[in-house]
Amino acid sequence: MKNIVVGVLTLLILATMGYVASQGGAYNGGEHGKGIQDIGNKTAKVTKVVEEKSDREKEQEELKSIREKAGNIGGFKVSDEYKSKCSSCHGVDGSGMQYGKKLMGPKLFGQSEEEIYQKLDDFKSGRRENMIMKGLLIHLSQDDLKRLAKEIGEFPARAKALEDKD
């Protein structure tokens, strides 16, 4: 009998501790603690507004550089096909693009025609899974893939020719 009473009391005490902990009041200084918490929240809000502003500025700069990269880089010439279908993610010279932490498209520059063709074919056939690339390539023929691969494979030579011209 004594054991049962002790057992029930222990359970009650544990339940009370659990309740108090879940309310958080006693451990965080009760009402007083709430006041401090409020101030904390307000400071966090102000900091957030400031951060958002600089985030927006950063975003704008980033967008600007993306637009330049997707459009024209110092006379680097690509086909209209590459420009309209690929440069928005991979950059007009294939150097790859990033938006914030998000990779829009990896670097293609420097890969050979064969490598690029193999990769495009893998995406198109589904051997390599990527919804974006597959969706883009599904309407292109093997000849289109070969033409694009040939062009991308020529990027380093094109860049070098541009450098030599300067």
Question: What is the binding site for ligand HEC (CB under 6 A)?
Answer: 85-86, 88-90, 104-106, 108, 116, 119-120, 130, 132-133, 136, 148
Tokens at residue 166, please? Answer: 């300067």
Task: Give the sign of the dihedral formed by CA 51, CA 53, CA 59, CA 62.
Answer: negative
What minimum distance in Å lies between the beta carbon of 143 and ligand HEC?
Answer: 13
How many Cα atoms sit within 13 Å of 13 on the Cβ side? Answer: 6
Termini Cα distance of the chain:
98
- Nearer to ligand HEC by C-beta: 89 or 159? 89
What minimum distance in Å lies between the beta carbon of 58 and ligand HEC?
Answer: 21
- Nearer to ligand HEC by C-beta: 57 or 62? 62
How far is Cα 4 from Cα 150, in angstroms, rounded to an integer? Answer: 84
How far is Cα 96 from Cα 63, in angstroms, rounded to an integer? Answer: 14
- Nearer to ligand HEC by C-beta: 2 or 102? 102
What minimum distance in Å lies between the beta carbon of 68 and ligand HEC?
Answer: 17
Tokens at residue 80, please? Answer: 């209209």
Torsion of CA 29, 34, 40, 46, to 10 degrees: -170
What minimum distance in Å lies between the beta carbon of 105 and ligand HEC?
Answer: 4
What minimum distance in Å lies between the beta carbon of 47 and ligand HEC?
Answer: 33
- Nearer to ligand HEC by C-beta: 57 or 81? 81
